[in-house]
Amino acid sequence: MIQNTCAAQVVRSRVLLSAFAILMACNAARLADSPPAQIPVPNPAPLPVDKHGDVTRTTTAKGTDRLREWRGGVMGTSLQLEVLGTDVAELDRVLGLVLDELRRVEDVFTVWRESELTRLNDRAGQGPIPVSRELALVLATSIECGRVTRGAFDVSYFPLRSLWNYQAEHPTLPTQAEIDAALAFVDWSRIEVDLEKNTVAMPAGFSIDLGGIAKGYGIDRAMSVMLEQGVKNGLVQAGGDTKALGRKFGESWQIAIKNPRHPGELFAVLPVVNQCVQTSGDYERFVEIDGQRYHHIIDPRTGRPSQGCMSATVIGPEATFADGIATAMCVLGPQAGMEIIEQLDRVEAVLVGMDGEVHLSSGLKKAAIPSKVR
- Residue numbers 254-283 binding Mg ion by CB under 5 A: 280
**What CA dihedral angle connects 316, 323, 241 and 206, to 10 degrees?**
170
Per rule CB under 5 A, is residue 311 in the interface with Mg ion?
no
**207 or 320: whose CB is closer to Mg ion?**
320
- Residue numbers 227-256 binding ligand AMP by CB under 6 A: none
Per rule CB under 6 A, is residue 101 in the interface with ligand AMP?
no
**231 or 297: whose CB is closer to ligand AMP?**
297
Closest distance to ligand AMP from the beta carbon of 39 (Å): 56
Run of H or E residues at 288: strand 286-289
**Residue 331 touches which of Mg ion, ligand AMP, none (Cβ within 5-8 Å per kind):** ligand AMP
Say how far apart CA 236 and CA 215 lie, in whole Å: 11
Per rule CB under 5 A, is residue 212 in the interface with Mg ion?
yes
Residue of 95, 193, 298, 325 interacting with ligand AMP (CB under 6 A): 298
**231 or 257: whose CB is closer to ligand AMP?**
257
Q: What angle do CA 156, 161, 164 make, to 5 degrees?
A: 150
Say how far apart CA 248 and CA 270 lie, in whole Å: 14
Chain centre distance of CA 114: 19
Could you tell me which stretch among 11-19, 248-256, 327-335, 346-354 binds Mg ion (CB under 5 A)?
327-335
Say how far apart CA 308 and CA 335 lie, in whole Å: 9
**67 or 214: whose CB is closer to ligand AMP?**
214
- Of 360, 276, 264, 266, the residue nearest 312 (C-alpha): 360
Say how far apart CA 238 and CA 293 lie, in whole Å: 24
**Residue 82 touches which of Mg ion, ligand AMP, none (Cβ within 5-8 Å per kind):** none
Per rule CB under 6 A, is residue 297 in the interface with ligand AMP?
yes
Q: Give SS3 for 365.
A: coil
Closest distance to ligand AMP from the beta carbon of 312 (Å): 8
- Residue numbers 12-71 binding Mg ion by CB under 5 A: none
**323 or 348: whose CB is closer to Mg ion?**
323
Could you tell me which stretch among 13-21, 56-64, 206-214, 250-258 binds ligand AMP (CB under 6 A)?
206-214
**218 or 300: whose CB is closer to ligand AMP?**
300
Closest distance to ligand AMP from the beta carbon of 155 (Å): 5
- Contact track, ligand AMP, 275-294, x by CB under 6 A: -----x---x----------
**214 or 268: whose CB is closer to ligand AMP?**
214
Helices 214-228 and 88-109: crossing angle in degrees, nearest 10, is 150
- Residue numbers 314-353 binding ligand AMP by CB under 6 A: 323, 326-327, 331
- Of 303, 311, 278, the residue nearest 145 (C-alpha): 278
Decide if 323 contacts 339 (C-beta within 8 A): no
Number of C-beta neighbours around residue 369 at 10 A: 16
CA distances from 92 to 54, 87, 103, 122, 230 (A): 14, 9, 16, 39, 13
Number of C-beta neighbours around residue 182 at 10 A: 21
Say how far apart CA 220 and CA 276 lie, in whole Å: 9
Per rule CB under 6 A, is residue 153 in the interface with ligand AMP?
yes
Decide if 317 contacts 275 (C-beta within 8 A): yes
Return the DSSP state at 143. Answer: H
- Residue numbers 300-319 binding ligand AMP by CB under 6 A: 300
Per rule CB under 6 A, is residue 209 in the interface with ligand AMP?
yes
Per rule CB under 5 A, is residue 308 in the interface with Mg ion?
no
Residue of 84, 91, 120, 155 interacting with ligand AMP (CB under 6 A): 155
- Of 216, 223, 199, the residue nearest 109 (C-alpha): 216
Enumerate binding residues for ligand AMP (CB under 6 A): 153-155, 157, 209, 211-212, 280, 284, 296-298, 300, 323, 326-327, 331
Enumerate binding residues for Mg ion (CB under 5 A): 212, 280, 323, 326-327
